[in-house]
Amino acid sequence: MIMPSQFYNFRANAVMIGGARIRGFGEDGGIEYSFDSAIHEKMVSPDGQTVYSKQNNYDVQATITLHAQSTGHQWLWNLLQSQVFTTDNQGIVPIPFKHIDQTNGDLIICPNIVFMDFPEPNKGQNVSNVEYVIDLPNAAFTMQQGVKNIPNQLLGNEE
């Protein structure tokens, strides 16, 4: 039986932050996600009993790599400035996030990202990359495999 070739195209990804599509990813860049903690922590007592504790931390960090001359870098820099230097007492300025992968249907949504650090500028003969690290508290995922809203499923909450 002949199997069709698999296909992936990063251009089919749309990353929207603060209402604008981010463009100008670094040459080897893109966006990488990592969970802040494991689902469970394991503890083994001196007498050999194993206990697993649910961690209940479903926050995700995303690292976005852009080239330094990109419109995406300019846009994120302005959003970071608005979030960092806001002087009101209302808390952190809310900035929505959405990542859609049209190739396989993955969807990641967060209504309120937080910039974790300033991007570090680099200079050289060729255009350099900058990295933005953002926190996505309670992000909702719909993955190709059919997993929906990871935090609520793991908590056992009904939707």
pLDDT reading at 151 higher than 50: no
Residue 3 lies in a domain: no
CATH of the domain at 79: 2.30.110
Three-class SS of the chain? CCCCCCCCCHHHEEEEECCEECCCECCCCCEEEEECCCCEEEEECCCCCEEEEECCCCCEEEEEEEECCCHHHHHHHHHHHHHHCCCCCCCCCCCCEEEEECCCCCEEEECCCEECCCCCCCCCCCCCEEEEEEEECCCEEECCCCCECHHHHHHCCCC
Residue 148 lies in a domain: yes
pLDDT reading at 158 higher than 50: no
Identify which has the larger pLDDT, 117 or 91.
117
Contact criterion met (CB below 8 Å) for 104 and 54: no
pLDDT band at 78 (very low <50, low <70, confident <90, very high): very high
In this structure, of 61-65, 78-82, 85-89, the range with the lowest mean pLDDT score is 85-89
Per the structure, the count of domains in the chain is 1
pLDDT reading at 28 higher than 80: no
Q: Which residues on adjacent β-strands are paired with residue 44? A: 50
Instruction: Kindly report whether the global pTM for this prediction surpasses the value 0.85.
Output: no
Query: Can you give the pLDDT at residue 137?
Result: 92
**Domain, as residue range, for 105:** 10-155
Q: What is the mean pLDDT of the chain?
A: 82
Residue 4 lies in a domain: no
